[in-house]
Amino acid sequence: MLKSMTGFARCENQNGDFTCRAEIRSVNNRFVDVNTRLPRTLAALELPLKKLIKSRCARGSFDVSVTLERNGEAGMDFEVKPNLALAEQYLDAFNQIREHLGLSGEIDINAVLALRDVVKPELREVDSSCEEVILSTVEQTLTELIHMREAEGVNLEKDILQQIDGITKLTESIKPRKSLAVREYQNKLKEKIRLLTEGAETDETRIAQETALLADRCDVSEEVIRLESHLEQFHKLVADNEPQGRKLEFLTQEINRETNTIGSKTIDLEVSRSVIEIKSHLEKIREQLANVE
């Protein structure tokens, strides 16, 4: 079963005095890359959160955001902090809008202060109970993210297997033409030799040996056998529950390698057309595999 590397999930939990919210976004990446956005007092949780994600996901780029908010008048020790960098970005955006539209007037500070996260409370200290609810909230969010990645993976798998089925059918169409192409090439060689040596004494046995040797170079039997083996292995990897994105990418390269060899060796126009179609399917598979875990 394939999983996508794209997903989003958000969860919220309350624990007495405060509320914990967690968001995780993921996109494709060759490896596991985790970026965390945590309040200053939660910096110690960055490593455990990264380990948690890496223990359950094999590939992808993850953005993890965690916030803590006081519930009503509960007695948690908070301090109010301005986010100056964010406020500057908002102000710069407002000025650009004003200049672009030719507007007049000053920007009210209340408009800036009303924006999300420009001013926010942060905990001065976090006890062990807070850490537990934060980790459990992130783990719950991660579970929902994985479910979304699995659901998207179903669509990816369906499309990829359709392309593989197309390659399988084209491979089947090449098989009966293997010997036909060899015989056709051999006959053409014999005819050329006959025209070039017309009237001259020739060694028919030697000519037969040389034409057979040259004709063997356009035999694609071995490539077709390996191609069929790769396609069978592709189905097995897709059916596996473990992340197989990297292996499938490598196997796609091997399928492409055999296809290129068939294309370079054949003189049969029908086989050449099949090779072009196979490469078209492979390109679509590559595009989809770029987002498979």
Tokens of 249: 């990418």
Would you say residue 61 has pLDDT above 70?
Answer: yes
Q: What is the pLDDT of residues 233-252, one digit of tens each?
A: 999 999 998 899 999 999 99
Torsion of CA 275, 280, 286, 288, to 10 degrees: -140
| pLDDT for 207 beyond 70 | no
Instruction: Work out the pLDDT band at 4, boundaries 50, 70, 90.
Output: very high
Q: Sort strands 7-15 and 119-123 into parallel, antiparallel or unpaired.
A: unpaired
Rounded-to-integer distance, Cα 190 and Cα 238, Å: 47
Among 55-59, 104-108, 264-268, which range has the highest average pLDDT?
A: 55-59
Of residues 105 and 168, more confidence is placed in: 168
Query: Residue 13 above 70 pLDDT?
Result: yes
Could you give the CA distance from residue 228 to residue 174 in angstroms, rounded to a whole number? 11
Instruction: Please report which helix (H) or strand (E) contains residue 252, including its range.
Output: helix 245-265
| Cβ-contact 37, 50 below 8 angstroms | no
- For residues 130 and 123, is the Cβ–Cβ distance under 8 A? yes
More confident: 231 or 82: 231
Give pLDDT, residue 204.
62
Query: Residue 134 in 3-state DSSP?
Result: helix
**pLDDT tens, residue by residue, 156-186:** 999 999 999 999 999 999 887 766 555 666 6
pLDDT at position 75 is 46
